[in-house]
A and B are shown apart, each in its own frame.
Chain A
Amino acid sequence: MSENEATPVGKVAPEDRRIGVYICHCGGNISDYVDVEAVREALADEPGVVVSTTELFACSDGTQHDMIDAIKEKQLDGLVVASCSPKLHQVTFRNVAARAGMNPYTYSQVNVREQGSWAHQHDKAGATEKVIGLVRSSVAKTRLSDALEPLRFDTVPRALVVGAGIAGLRAAIGLAEIGLEAVVVEKAPEVGGWVGRHGETFPSNAAGRDQIASLNEQIKQRRDITVYTNAELTGKSGTFGNYSAEITLHRDGGDKTLTVDVGSIIVATGFDSYAPDDGEFGYGIEGVVTLPQFKELVDASEAGKLIYNGRPVRSVGYVYCVGSRQEAGGNEYCSKFCCTAAIHASVLVNKLDPSVRQFHLYRDVRAYGRNELLYNETRDAGSVFLKFADDAPPTVAKLPSGGLGLTITDLLTDSREVTIPVDLVVLVTGMVPRQNKSLVDLLKLPLGTDGFFNEIHPKLRPVETVVDGVMIAGCCQSPRTAGESVAAGLAAVAQSAALLKKGYAELEPLVARIDPEKCTGSGDCLTACPYDSITSIEWDGRQIASVDPATCKGCGGCIPVCGADAIDLLGYTDAQMRAAIEEMFEASVPVKEPVA
């Protein structure tokens, strides 16, 4: 801000702000490696700083109360806590600010533990100087901070589930049990997905179709779950908490459209099975089948009779990792479920007819956790495992004698090449992302490089997407077992409840803002936003850009594309960033501490 620029009415000049700075010892985690007293002193005389103090544990209940008292007594209008990572306590101290009647968005946390003391344990002087810079920088941003209000709005206690496979159906029941209505939309004429077509499945040996029937029965008993089959989600408007979903029902007499208000959307659209190319591991030759085709065959067989095309099958060869762990450009991922699924199928074959000989040609057996027991079971029953190298996959060919021949260089027997004659070859095919472009476009679902939907964070926010209120669960997210899909579905239920059970929701106000005076209406930012949050509006007789704070994700991607420099991200405005950079550098406080 230039000196002759007037301070807006009602807004305190940066140097007249009343900021409290708290530097945490973290019981020694910080103060053993950073001279916190030097930090306190360095900050005490900074413009706008009214309180500069150190605390043994800033997060302790007693200190939080002291902070609240100080905020009230000294009428603070900004708060900076230098402590651990904001991941741990940003919410804690925002709440402290709110409880003291201070705007929570004038609080900022400085990470001086993970990114300070712990990273520089042998350089106390350097760490102290660094931390002074970090805190000054944060104070500079706080001086220029605005009192922001989260967008608060009422939410609808109902969720939409897209996909009625095992994950979607179980999620629907979970939603109803937690007190949220569920509306399920399924493209197919029947519910149940892949699992609903299966006989015995691992790990419980219960038939997939029985598990689906049981879920379906529970759903029929409930009035708070509605299931539409032959139906698709074809439209979505509104924002999270208040989405308006347009569902198209494909009926004999033509399509029918209905609209449902929902607070959240759980996408559980599942996967497609990898379809091998013609000739890939002999695919196309009679007797070469994929894993789902084989499972269907086994499920339909009676005891003692494993029959393929009218002929009894006396031997089976499995080729693992078909369509998975391919070279760059292919499906580079491991599909994770297929080792166990193939092993489980071989256990079933052994139960049908123990005299069938079974050969498993594998790269690595990834039957993890309790699935290891199935691996042991099939080996104990006589299954033979042969390992091939990543760069030397086996080949499948028709033998002159009439059967099929599997040729492998077996790493476990002196790398000898062997040809195994078998009646049936099972290509252990993995999962591929289901093509669903219209849904991706409609919900703005983020796709990973592998083509599956992307969560915000695989561990910390595993079912949320960047689109607020839209969650992903099951194999649409990544290959996994049915049990893992159900767990993800229930995680999405819990997340929906966290969003919708309060009856209202709040959105972070840290969104993009356009200065109408500066905006030249070039339209460059409109295409920069994949969330369609920026629209062109008429203002003062000309077209300018405008941001919808309810759909803006706060990424700032529109900011550098504006040639007129007219966009600011609240919390990271141009003035704040420049001041923060300058103050970070200016930490030239002489620290003469002996090196620890």
Chain B
Amino acid sequence: MSPAIHPDTNSPRILVFSTINISDPGIDLAGSRHLEYPATVQTMPVPCSSGLKPAWLIHALEKGFDGVFVASDGEECAYLPDCAERTSRIIAEAQAIMAARGISPERLKMAAVCSVCAEPFANYMREFSEKLKQVRAASSVA
């Protein structure tokens, strides 16, 4: 049993876009193994990370999410052999728009989450959550 996590009302809100065939099973496995990560992480399934519009990622941030995390298929994508490059381009494009609108590019992150990447996923969420707290602190000081 992991120790009780006290709900943190200030915990950053994170929206995860995950891929149905590859990342979702990995995120499911994190839950099945009770690897806890902040409950302020919410997941939205999509067929492939290469199908995400940069505008959606920015929409989420502008609507109030502190961070957006794209769990991509990486090399495992069954649809597109160049999926990792495509998703990277989408992220880069979104970050360019974010920079122009004064949104910290650190609020958008991408990593490959495979179908058994339970532990890496839970770690990514804990780390990203901590990172976003720093980003928030830095921006409130600025």
Contacts and interface: CB of A to CB of B under 8 A. Distances in A.
A and B bind: yes
Contacts of A299: none
B43 to A, nearest CB: 5
A202 B45 CA distance: 45
A126 B35 CA distance: 15
Contacts of A130: 39-42
A397 interface: no
Contact of B31 (A87, A115, A126, A572): A115
Contacts of B43: 111, 115, 134
A557 B86 contact: yes
A118 B34 contact: yes
B76 to A, nearest CB: 8
Nearest to A529: B80
Interface of B: 2-7, 11, 13, 15, 20-22, 24-25, 27-32, 34-48, 50-54, 56, 59-60, 63-65, 75-76, 78-81, 83, 86, 90, 93, 115, 122
A530 interface: yes
A581 interface: yes
A114 B63 contact: no
A449 interface: yes
Nearest to B122: A119
A556 B46 contact: yes
A114 B27 contact: yes
13 contacts: A86-B45, A113-B31, A114-B29, A122-B3, A122-B4, A510-B47, A554-B47, A557-B83, A560-B52, A577-B56, A582-B63, A584-B15, A595-B6
A74 interface: no
A114 B21 CA distance: 15
A436 B40 CA distance: 48
A557 B56 CA distance: 15
B78 A454 contact: yes
Q: Which 7 A-B pairs have the closest CB atoms?
A: A556-B51, A126-B39, A555-B79, A114-B31, A114-B28, A118-B31, A119-B31
A465 B78 contact: yes
A560 B54 contact: yes
B49 to A, nearest CB: 9
B37 A119 contact: yes
Contact of A133 (B20, B31, B42, B93): B42
Contacts of B25: 87, 457, 460
Contacts of A114: 27-32
A572 B51 contact: yes
Interface in A92-123: 111, 113-123
A125 interface: yes
A569 to B, nearest CB: 6
A126 B38 CA distance: 8
A530 B78 contact: no
Contacts of B38: 126
A129 interface: yes
Contacts of B64: 585
Interface string A83-94: 001110000000
Interface string A549-583: 00001111111100000000100101001101110
Given A119-B31, A569-B47, A585-B64, A578 B56 contact: yes
A539 to B, nearest CB: 24
Contacts of A123: 5-7, 36, 39
Nearest to A559: B51
Nearest to A571: B47
Contacts of A137: 42, 44
Given A117-B31, A120-B36, A457-B78, 11 more contacts: A85-B28, A114-B30, A115-B28, A466-B78, A530-B80, A555-B51, A559-B53, A560-B93, A582-B63, A585-B15, A595-B7
Contacts of A460: 25, 115
Contact of B81 (A87, A510, A530): A530
A584 B42 contact: yes
Contact of A456 (B27, B37, B78): B78
A495 to B, nearest CB: 15
A572 to B, nearest CB: 6
Contact of B21 (A122, A125, A133, A457): A457
A465 B77 CA distance: 11
Given A129-B39, A137-B44, A572-B51, A121 B34 contact: yes
B44 A85 contact: no
A418 B40 CA distance: 61
A572 B78 contact: no
Nearest to A119: B31
Given A447-B81, A560-B50, A584-B15, A119 B86 contact: no
B60 A585 contact: yes
Nearest to A581: B60
A557 B79 contact: yes
A580 B35 CA distance: 26
A449 B75 contact: yes
Contacts of B46: 556, 572
Chain B CB count within 10 A is highest, among A115, A454, A582, for A115
A446 interface: yes
Contacts of A354: none
A127 interface: yes
A454 B83 CA distance: 14
A125 B63 contact: no
Contacts of A447: 81
Interface string A440-475: 000000111100001111011000011000000000
A123 B65 CA distance: 20
A569 B49 CA distance: 13
B27 A556 contact: no
Contacts of A118: 31-32, 34
A408 B118 CA distance: 41
B63 A119 contact: no
Contacts of A87: 24-25, 28
A480 to B, nearest CB: 19
Given A560-B54, A582-B63, A555 B75 contact: no
A426 B37 CA distance: 52
Contact of B47 (A85, A448, A555): A555
B59 to A, nearest CB: 6
A34 B40 CA distance: 14
Contacts of B54: 560
A470 to B, nearest CB: 12
B80 A560 contact: no
A456 B21 contact: yes
